[in-house]
Amino acid sequence: MRRIFTALLLSCGFANAAHAQADSLMNMLNDAPVKKEAVSATFKATRIINGSSVENLGAGVLDFRISHRFGQLNQGAENFFGLDNATTRLGLDYGITKWLMIGLGHSTLNKENDGFLKARILSQKNAGMPVTLSYAGSVSVQTTKAPTLPAGDKWLFTNRLYYTNQVLIARKISNALSLQLMPTLVHYNLVDSTKFSNNTLAIGIGGRIKVSKRIAITGEYYYRVTNADLFYSGQKTYNALAIGVDIETGGHVFQMMLTNSPGITDRTFIGQTTDSWEKGALHFGFNISRVFTIVKPREFRDKAEEPRSW
């Protein structure tokens, strides 16, 4: 009986020791620092709809983009509900590094050429940094024929130039939801300075709701803080609002949208949109993106050079 009692005491002691050791191990695991990793795929493409997202192309990746905005849907059957009138932009974007990309494009509206760069400053992490922060800057030049001016007046090349500066602040809240804030300053070299400022300050907000692995609903709105009553070509302008759908298919991202802006470049859709949702002056449009790897990442190049073992 004494031996049995002694065995029970020893068993309890071993059990208590094992339990204490397990608790100590769990405490060590709980106290271990969380590995900080960058959050990826905040958006599906480098544009939300019209405006830039915080997404960048990878280093050595070329993105060929076709953007199309048809005429007003309320134009009726005579103009095939806007399909007979369209604005097109062709663009080439390139990732120089994983945090810096550049791009060039041409738009048929006002025969406009544009160039831009986008640089990621901070990246959202799963622990620590709560947002991704980027800067986007662009310049565009209108190449339409110079207007006829009164005798003695001179048309300057600088009258054709426009500049945009943006801070992009985004957070991927969950796998399904991402939001972005876009404080924006658009500078127009030529305006009626007696009525308007050369600088238009706008606050943009955009987002994405993922509904499946390859499909997402997107939206963006730009509210003009200054120059809200700006006139363009003798017409009143409105804040730009767009709602779209992203469809990812391998190397393509196909974006369809409804927007009140026929313009595609920053300066046109932010400050010079002359159509209104309230009046039914909406435009159907789409963006098609096709990416090509021009320069392979070093780790893939190194693997390709390694001899095969049979």
Please write the tens of the pLDDT for every residue from 171-184. Answer: 999 999 999 999 99
Residue type, 10: L
Tokens in use for 82?
A: 């806007």
Res 178: pLDDT: 98
pLDDT at 118 over 50: yes
State how far the Cα of 46 lies from the Cα of 61, in Å rounded to an integer: 12
Contacts of residue 194, defined as CB under 8 A and 6 or more positions apart, other chains included, come to none
**Average pLDDT of the chain to the nearest whole number:** 86
Rounded to an integer, the average pLDDT of 257-275 is 94
Tokens in use for 3?
A: 């031996």
pLDDT at 8 over 70: no
Q: What is the pTM of this model?
A: 0.83
Tokens in use for 127?
A: 């622990």
Res 5: pLDDT: 44
Contacts of residue 209, defined as CB under 8 A and 6 or more positions apart, other chains included, come to 176, 177, 216, 217, 218
Rounded to an integer, the average pLDDT of 187-205 is 92
Please indicate whether residue 84 or residue 202 has the higher confidence score (pLDDT): 202
Angle at 183 between CA 179 and CA 186, to 5 degrees: 135
Res 253: pLDDT: 85
Res 4: pLDDT: 45
Which has the closest alpha carbon to 272: 225, 299, 216, 233?
233
Res 12: pLDDT: 45
Res 31: pLDDT: 59
Res 3: pLDDT: 54
Domain 61-301 has CATH 3.10.20.30: no
Pick from 12-16, 129-133, 213-217, 219-223: least confident: 12-16
Please write the tens of the pLDDT for every residue from 70-86. Answer: 988 877 667 666 677 78
Please indicate whether residue 190 or residue 48 has the higher confidence score (pLDDT): 48
Res 303: pLDDT: 56
Res 199: pLDDT: 95
Res 148: pLDDT: 80
Contacts of residue 226, defined as CB under 8 A and 6 or more positions apart, other chains included, come to 197, 199, 200, 201
Rounded to an integer, the average pLDDT of 22-43 is 70
pLDDT band at 217 (very low <50, low <70, confident <90, very high): very high
List 95's β-bridge partners, or say none: 101
Res 21: pLDDT: 56
State how far the Cα of 188 lies from the Cα of 59, in Å rounded to an integer: 32
Res 246: pLDDT: 96
Res 10: pLDDT: 45
pLDDT at 54 over 90: yes
Pick from 116-125, 132-141, 210-219, 301-310: least confident: 301-310
Please write the tens of the pLDDT for every residue from 122-167. Answer: 999 998 899 999 999 999 999 988 888 777 788 889 999 999 999 9
Res 149: pLDDT: 77
Tokens in use for 34?
A: 């969380």
Rounded to an integer, the average pLDDT of 46-69 is 95
